[in-house]
Chains A and B, each alone.
Chain A
Amino acid sequence: MAFLELENISKYFGRNTAVDHIHLAVEHGEFLTLLGPSGCGKTTILRMVAGFEVPSEGYILLDGDDITQRAASKRPMGMVFQSYALFPHMTAEQNIAFGMNIKHVPRETIQKRCAELLELVGLGDKGRSYPHQLSGGQQQRVALARALAVEPKVLLLDEPLSALDAKVRVSLRNEIRRIQQQLKMTAIYVTHDQEEALAISDRIAVMAKGRIEQLDQPEEIYSNPRTVFAASFVGSSNQFSGKLESAAQGLCKAGSHLLHVPPTSSLKDGDAVLVLVRPEEVTLKEAEGQDDSDTNTTGNHIPGVIDLRTFLGPFTRFHIRTEQGDSLTADIPSQQARDNFVAQHVILSFAPEACQVLPIDSEEAKLVKQAEAEAV
């Protein structure tokens, strides 16, 4: 039995289904991230685990105990909020001590533990500061220390980095991960930032419309998405929707392109599919003076014209307009992208193994659009 289990959990708000029959098992010491767009139900799940919402159906088991109906104040959870939620009239130290005071921890122990926790979050000298005297990142560190002070069995983090600027966000997420691993604490983290989720988690649950689309390790989620939504939401990709010409030979007709994809036995000829290719899997070659032997090899080669060139530091992103009018993206290491320029005629190439083929129905098509809109 897992350390924390959500059994068939649903939550309805009037006629709206926020969470739809979720099964989730979190192991002891695991860092699990709930990732999804706004309104997918990730925060509702976290709030049900914290005890701020009561599930409409299902059970929540912690270490074998049914805590579904237990009041939030009686649950061994520590929570970190997006808006920090530090008590404004208390110093950092008093904030951290609040939970321990309630548990009647001896004063000497409280003082010692406050000092330890402040050191742990790198704020050893800020114990006497009030929240308004601290920066956003420092406030969130205090909030983290306060949540850890009550020695929770599960640490819940509700988009804790969303209100911070990019640089602080990266350093603090590394801090959170370091502390979680150091304390071997079970943690559930909610975010809509896929990069954050990939960087910090042991496992990610990609959510859409109150359901878990895929629950896997970050590497698997990125390189082997099981659903169209998971593939679209996590990372960016070039998408070709079409029909499978030959599942056995790995041929797919997408518009006027005949794509070479990995052969599959799980799909049959004629199935509607979405072929996804990550931009970093695409290579560019100048169209003029190309070697014919290159384009004749098994692979995908699509001619086009560079529309936009964006330098992004380690790599350069190219938006290429194909002859059919589609826009495709290629991420090329900046060292190799020096000879490519806007209006240049190029051939985009990608190997069949770089293609992910996923069956698609109308419902999934909607989710893809939602994920794309969220990404924008």
Chain B
Amino acid sequence: MQLGPNNIASRAIADVITGPQSQQKPRRGGFGLNKVALTIVLIYLLVPLAATLVFGVAIGNGIDFSALKSTFTDPDLSTTLVFSLELALATTLLAVILVTPTAYWVQLRLPKARPLLDFLSLIPFAMPAIVLSVGLIEVYNGTNSPVINVLSLGIVPALANLKIVNTPPLLVCAYVIIALPFVYRPIDNSLRAINTTVLTEAAYSLGSGWWRTFLTIILPNIFPGVISAALLVFSTVMGEFTIASLFGLYTFPIYLNNTGQNDPHKAAILAVLSFIFTLLCVLGIILLVRIRRSATGQRGAQIEIAAAR
């Protein structure tokens, strides 16, 4: 379950912004069908947001900014927001660092294993988050199951001894699993688009080793795909509720939910703030990609949100 408008916001924005090369210059003048469609989409996206904001500051027939003031003075806001940010950054980093070299290696050395990886990356879609969280808690709470011990090659009992159940590190690991489809798909698509094998062989023939080839040749060319993956992971974690709730950790979506139950005006303001915050993060990342792209003159690479879906 994803709470808050973060996901919707980031995905919608990323859908709209698909890179400078793909955008055709609109003809000046006239009021074409495209502009009508764009206006309808903007109304569809902005009216609920505006209505939420109006509801947040409206008391009866008047406007009252006390809810806004109390939102900013609430110490839980910054605490949970920073905590969720930390979780999101840690998950994004871990997921990208784990998946990018793996996808490259599979593409290069084990192309026959790609269907297996495709299947594995889809499992999180099929598995409800509640099953994942209950399973994680069950496995890591110290229950000594010989089957799990053997299947995990002894890793689970070793980690269980560290008492990581219901802790942020285990939550990050769970988030990495949830985010797998979002991180694997864009990276895999980018790797397929750049003729990975030939570029790698060209680098090898010039004396480059595997890691140097990966970092200096492959990564810069799949950078938009990696950023796209990072964007999706980030927004997924910022809005994740179920697992955090079952872990008993106080994240921003849980704070949002609690506030909504006690003070709906404050919750509305928080929803708008959350949207603006995610919007700024996403725009920042997109700006980064564009600056980089115009610096390298690279063409054709687009943020592949659609592919990730």
Report which A residues bind B (CB closer than 8 A): 50-52, 71-75, 77-79, 81, 83, 85-89, 98-99, 102-103, 130, 132-133, 143, 146-147, 149-150, 156
CA distance A74 to B203 in the complex (A): 12
Q: Are B206 and A150 in contact (CB under 8 A)?
A: yes
CA distance A50 to B198 in the complex (A): 13
Q: Are A99 and B207 in contact (CB under 8 A)?
A: yes
Does chain A have a CB within 8 A of B201? yes
CA distance A103 to B208 in the complex (A): 9
Q: Name 14 extra pairs, CB < 8 A, besides A71-B204, A85-B198, A88-B194.
A: A79-B201, A81-B198, A85-B199, A85-B202, A87-B202, A98-B206, A102-B206, A130-B298, A132-B299, A132-B300, A133-B297, A143-B202, A150-B206, A156-B205
Q: How far is the CB of B51 from chain A (nearest CB, A)?
A: 45
Does chain A have a CB within 8 A of B220? yes
Q: Are A79 and B205 in contact (CB under 8 A)?
A: yes
Give the residues from 196 to 229 in chain B that come closer than 8 angstroms, CB to CB, to chain A: 198-199, 201-209, 212, 217, 220-221
Given the interface contacts A73-B208, A146-B206, A147-B205, does A87 sit within 8 Å of B296 by beta carbon?
Answer: no
Q: How far is the CB of B301 from chain A (nearest CB, A)?
A: 9
Q: How far is the CB of B108 from chain A (nearest CB, A)?
A: 11
Does chain A have a CB within 8 A of B195? yes
Q: Can you offer 29 A-B residue contacts whose CB atoms are under 8 A? A: A50-B205, A51-B204, A52-B204, A71-B204, A72-B205, A73-B204, A73-B205, A77-B205, A78-B206, A79-B201, A79-B202, A81-B202, A83-B198, A85-B201, A85-B202, A87-B199, A87-B221, A88-B221, A89-B298, A98-B203, A99-B206, A102-B208, A103-B207, A132-B297, A132-B300, A133-B297, A143-B202, A147-B205, A149-B206
- Fill in one digit per residue for B276-302: 1 if any A CB lies within 8 Å of its CB, else 0: 000000000000000000001111100
CA distance A352 to B66 in the complex (A): 110
Q: How far is the CB of A313 from chain B (nearest CB, A)?
A: 37
Q: Are A73 and B217 in contact (CB under 8 A)?
A: no
Cross-interface CB contact of A102 among B201, B212, B298, B299, cutoff 8 Å: B212
Which B-chain residue is minimally distant from A156 (CB atoms)?
A: B205
Report which B residues bind A (CB closer than 8 A): 194-195, 198-199, 201-209, 212, 217, 220-221, 296-300
Q: Are B212 and A78 in contact (CB under 8 A)?
A: no
CA distance A324 to B217 in the complex (A): 63
Which A-chain residue is minimally distant from B207 (CB atoms)?
A: A102
CA distance A74 to B296 in the complex (A): 29
The winner among B195, B204, B209, B220 for most chain A CB atoms within 10 A is B204
B220 contacts across to A, CB distance below 8 A = 89
Q: Are B202 and A89 in contact (CB under 8 A)?
A: no
Q: How far is the CB of B218 from chain A (nearest CB, A)?
A: 10
Q: How far is the CB of B267 from chain A (nearest CB, A)?
A: 45
Given the interface contacts A102-B212, A130-B298, does A72 sit within 8 Å of B198 by beta carbon?
Answer: no
CA distance A72 to B210 in the complex (A): 11
A74 contacts across to B, CB distance below 8 A = 207
Given the interface contacts A79-B201, A81-B198, does A89 sit within 8 Å of B206 by beta carbon?
Answer: no
Which A-chain residue is minimally distant from B219 (CB atoms)?
A: A89
B299 contacts across to A, CB distance below 8 A = 132
Q: Are B297 and A81 in contact (CB under 8 A)?
A: no
B203 contacts across to A, CB distance below 8 A = 87, 98
CA distance A99 to B204 in the complex (A): 9
Which A-chain residue is minimally distant from B292 (CB atoms)?
A: A89
A71 contacts across to B, CB distance below 8 A = 204
A149 contacts across to B, CB distance below 8 A = 206
Q: How far is the CB of B192 from chain A (nearest CB, A)?
A: 15
Cross-interface CB contact of B204 among A72, A147, A156, cutoff 8 Å: A72
Q: How far is the CB of A53 from chain B (nearest CB, A)?
A: 11
B207 contacts across to A, CB distance below 8 A = 73-74, 99, 102-103, 150
Please give me the 9 A-B residue pairs with the lowest Cβ-Cβ distance, nearest first: A99-B206, A85-B202, A79-B205, A72-B204, A102-B207, A130-B297, A89-B220, A85-B198, A89-B296
B221 contacts across to A, CB distance below 8 A = 87-89
A143 contacts across to B, CB distance below 8 A = 202
B199 contacts across to A, CB distance below 8 A = 85, 87
CA distance A74 to B204 in the complex (A): 8
Q: How far is the CB of A321 from chain B (nearest CB, A)?
A: 47
CA distance A214 to B13 in the complex (A): 63
B217 contacts across to A, CB distance below 8 A = 87
CA distance A83 to B201 in the complex (A): 12
CA distance A52 to B204 in the complex (A): 9
CA distance A72 to B206 in the complex (A): 9
Q: Are B298 and A72 in contact (CB under 8 A)?
A: no
Which B-chain residue is minimally distant from A132 (CB atoms)?
A: B299
A99 contacts across to B, CB distance below 8 A = 206-208
